[in-house]
Every structure is written in C-alpha cells, then in structure tokens.
Structure 1
C-alpha cells in the first residue's frame, strides 16, 4: 500500500511539474514574441489542466459513489482494477480497499449492537432508555413484559396501563431509586426503579432499570409468617399440652359426687384438645415437604382435579369447562403438591358459587410467550371485594365461618417452593392464575 501511495504521489507531482514547465515555456515564447510556439505551448498547457480536472472529477465521482453505496448498505460496488491508466487502476484498487474496510467496520458495529441487544433480552432486569422528550430509544423484552406492552415507542403509551406510572417515569431524575405498583390485565406488578443518565451525541438520555419485586416481597412476607407461626405454635403447644394432660389426670381421680368439678375439668380437657387440633392445622403451613418435580401431562391432571371437584358439588348446579392448549402440554412440577393447590382453588370456587343457579367454573392451561406454563381458574360466583382481595394470601385470614384461613397461604407457599406464583387477577370475575417458570 505504501508503494502504491508513493507511486501515486510521484505521478501527481509529475503532472504539477509538467503544468509548471508548460507555463514557463509559454512565458518564454511570449517574451521572445514566438507567438506560434507560444500558442502551441499554451494549447498543451490547457490540455494538461483539462486532463487533470477530468481525472479529479472522475475520482471525486467514484468516491461519492462509494460513500452513497456504503450509506445504503450496498457493498456490491467494485471499481475495475484492470482497465484505464495505471494511475486509475491504482486509485480504483485503493477505493475498493477503503470501501471494504468501511463496510467491515459498519458490519462489526451492527453485529455488536445486535449482540448487546441479545444480552439485554437475556437479563431479568427491564431496561428503558428515554430521551428528555419521552421518546423510547431502547428497551428489552423484560421491560415490555413488566409494563404489559407489545409496542413501546413513547412514554405516553403507558397511559393505557397506568397514568400515574407515565407521570412517574416522565419526571424521574438520575440517581432516583423509586418503587411503584400498578395493575395490568394479568396481575398487580410491584416495581423498583433505578435511574441513571448518559449523553450520546450531545443528547441527554435517561437509563431506567426496572425490577419486579413481587417475588421478593412474597418470599419475605411468607418467611415472616412461617417464623411467626413456628413461634406461636411452639409456645401454644408447650402451654396447652400440660393443661390438657393435667385435666385428664384429675378427671381420672375425681369422684362422681364432685360433678361440678368434673364438668369443669371435662370442659378444660375438651377445649384444650380442640385448641391443640386447631394449632396442629396451622403447623402444616410450616411443614410443606420439599417438591419432588416430574413431568406430567396437564390435560389429564386437570381432568382428574375436575372429577374430584364434581364430587364436592352435591347440588349439581355447577358446570366445568376445561381448555388446555396445546393438548399435549407438559408441566415439570410436583404433581401431588400442585394438586393440593388446584383442589383448594376448586373447593373455594364451589363454595363461592354455593347454590347459585347455572354456576360455572372454567380452567384454562396454556404456554405464554415467555414459555411459562399458565393455569387459570375462574368462576362466575360473587367477586372478591378489593379490600378483602388484599389479604386473602395472609395466613389465618378468612371470611368463612369456621374457616382456618390457611388454604390460600399454603397454596402460595407450595407455588413458591415450586418456583412459580399464584395471583388473583383484579376484575369483576374471580380468576386465579398459577404461573410455572
């Protein structure tokens, strides 16, 4: 390359020196009043200048053509390297090399951008890059999933999800650490948001990192309840067991004539045993066995659950609908534990419908875009009021007379141990969603 450049430089100086020599010759012939030779020399000078201009224009057009082709992602151009003067062939060869280098640089840049996009789509953190005007410069699949959007090009599109979320993301500043919650069509989402910024090509951009903290909050809440339940049940069992045992001993020693004392001891014993049975039911919440997952077909599994559910509907006023897509959908989980969750949800749905005519329970199973198995169970019974829906997964919370309040708590714990989640969707109908990751 250095040899070709040196040769081109020598040829360039040769044309310049030729033009200078012709100018000197024209001047000398003019001084000597040799007008004929002066005209011939002047004509040669004009031809030399015209020749250089033509070469300049030709090479300029070639360079512009190459730049236009590269800008349009066209790398099929090729200047002939075996035609024209040696100088033209060398210039064409140099332009071909420059075009090839620039195209490779552009291709590598595009590949790096695609590589970084793939990395962003593989992480569990949602990434948004916003301009100060609200335009979305970059986003990954996790951000779209968290926000419940398929297309996201401007911050104002979040008004379809939650107007408060639009205002929050529009006004956040670099360095902010925020938390917010909103409800989409599938669930209530709790987000933590961290904001940073960068200036690219003199334009200020904000980078938002979005994280779903639902799972983290649920795990902390469940762990707290488990620890509390263990302490309470341990203390209650330790206190009540001796009382029950002592009352039974006194009953065996009491004489028949002490009827009033005997009745009191009998009451203490019966109440104590009932309390022990009551506490034992709560201990199940902290003693769920570790899941032993295996592969099983979802359709056959749900059909068995429906048959069990029908036996809990003595009135026969409830119809069941099962929709599994695809029909050979497979789930990897502990079938016995998951059956407890589904049976509990079906039992709750049957109790909610009660004797209502034309009761209906629909079970739908499918695989979402994230390849997660989803099982939806909904019924047309009375909807759960929002003020109650907030507490249904809290251990010991119940609105049923005689209920223990641990059914949904155990269900949530089982789903957590199985690496999934259980959610009550907001709306007019009662719909629970089991998600298996």
Structure 2
C-alpha cells in the first residue's frame, strides 16, 4: 500500500474513526460543549490532519484556533482535558490502523507525517492557550490592583471625613477640660456645670458622626435599636446641638408649625441625618453677606410625617442634582461628600426617604417617614 492509498483509506473511514474517538472520549469522562459545534470541530480537525500537503500555518483549521480557544474557555474545558482529548484522538487513529489495516504494508512515513501534524497542533494550541491564560491573569491582576487602589482611596476619603467631623468637637472638649481644670484650681465650682453640659453636647455630636459612618457597614453588631420617640424631641435635641453655630454664623432660625408625632426609629442615627441637613444649610450660606435664614417645619401628610429644612442659600448646581446622594459628590472645597450618602442610607433603614427641591431663591430638604 502506497501513501496515496493509505490516506484514501483513512479519509473514507473518517466517520468510524471519529465515532471511536468520541466513544472513548465519553468513557474517559471528558466534557463536551454544544454537540453540533463539537462534531464540526472534530471533522475540521480530521481534515487538517489529512491535509499534510498544506503548510501548517496556512490551514483553515489552524486559523480557527482563536475561535476554538474561545469555545473551550467559555465552556470551561480545562487544558488537561484538552491534552487527554488529543491523546485519545491519536489512540483511536492508531487502533483503527492496527485493527483494520493489520494485513497491509503500512507506509510509515505517512504515519509519521500525521503524527507530526498532530504534535504541531497540540503545541500550537497549548502555546496559544497558555498565552491567553497569562493575558487573562494579567488583566485580573490589573483589575485587582485598580480595585485595591480605589478601595484605599475610598478608605482615605472616609478617614479624612471622620477626622474632619470629629476634630472640631474634640478640640472644643479639650478646651473646656482645660477651663474646668483652671476653675477647679480656683475653686470656682459654680461654673463647672455649663462647661460639662457643653462637653456632653460635643460628645453627642461625636456619637452621631460615628453612627453615621457605621451605617455603611452591614454588620448587625453595630445596629442601633429602634425606639419610639417624640419627633419634637428629636428636632429640639438637634437644634440645641447646633445652636452655637447658628449664633456664630448670624443665621435667623425660624420654626413653622412643628407637628409632634411618635416615630419608631433609630434615634441617634435620625438625629445625625437632621444634623447633617442643618449643617449643610449653614455651610451653603457662606456666600450670602446678610439675611441668612433657615426655617424648620414638620407636618403630617397622609401616612407620611415630613420634617423640612429650608435655607435661602444658592441653588444646588444642576450637574449635581441627580447624584447628590452618591458618596463623595460634594460642592464644598473641604467636603467629603459622605454626609448625604449616609443620610440617605439611614432614612432607608428607617423606612423613610430624604428628598430635596432647589431653586435660585431657596433649597429645601425633606426627611420623609412612612408611618
């Protein structure tokens, strides 16, 4: 039997050879992706194996390797399965030659050509497979690095915000402790009570800020309990805490009808929301020379209870309105953009929401509680 006859016999027995390969493939527990595509690839591979006269790099089957790899990757076919599949293919071919052509004189140079062809393809596919895997790992490492850097940036911004929000109360506490120490040395005990009251207020401020930051965590261990409280007491407590700033900034604070009701809320967290809104209102009026005004009101609206805070500062820029409650979005030069994001999350946890309206004359933030 010459080479041409040998190759013709193999071509005429393509289907039995592929069938035997597929049978052994299943027996070895290897995975198959979509069967029609799988068999098409097998027929293409058989043609490539037989086309020994076509240069390796020019064969259409070799040019399809990127598509072939994509199917393997998408269907999670491992490189070890790929290697076993190729060995089973070679064994199936050799078994056919031994069993069907055992009484023929086999042209071994033709067998060597076919084996060389299969070896070339195996090396080529594995090199390509490894190259793509390395590229994928590099991309993943790059993504991990970017995520790490982004996370560190967020942590840095949150740390800066925490320091900013806590530094002022701590400075005030330190100052009054020094004054208390001085009064004690002078035995002027009658002045200590007001100082201690201010220190207590500043510590409540710190507690509210810490509660706000902890709201970004999902852990139950930091969850504040829900209690029934008077809405009026919440408003009055927060007003008393920020009253010194109201006076220092020469702001006229007015109250419309304050409707009292019982709210089932996380008291400290809700006080933090109202405090954030009032502080933002104060900060917003830095650009106003005179006539700075803040109005606080509350009302029942159907099944909702609404606390509104209105200031006559500048309008919130249109570019920020859609993302105002997104972390790190702020118009303040030294702001961190966490206050409203925290406030939104707190209100959602308390079965409520926070809304706003803004125009050139005034800006109003509304804390909405669903009763």
TM-score, normalisation: structure 1: 0.35
Is the strand fraction higher in 1 or 2? 1
Return the TM-score normalized by structure 2: 0.41
Larger Rg, first or second structure (1 or 2): 1
> Structure 1 or 2: larger helix share?
2
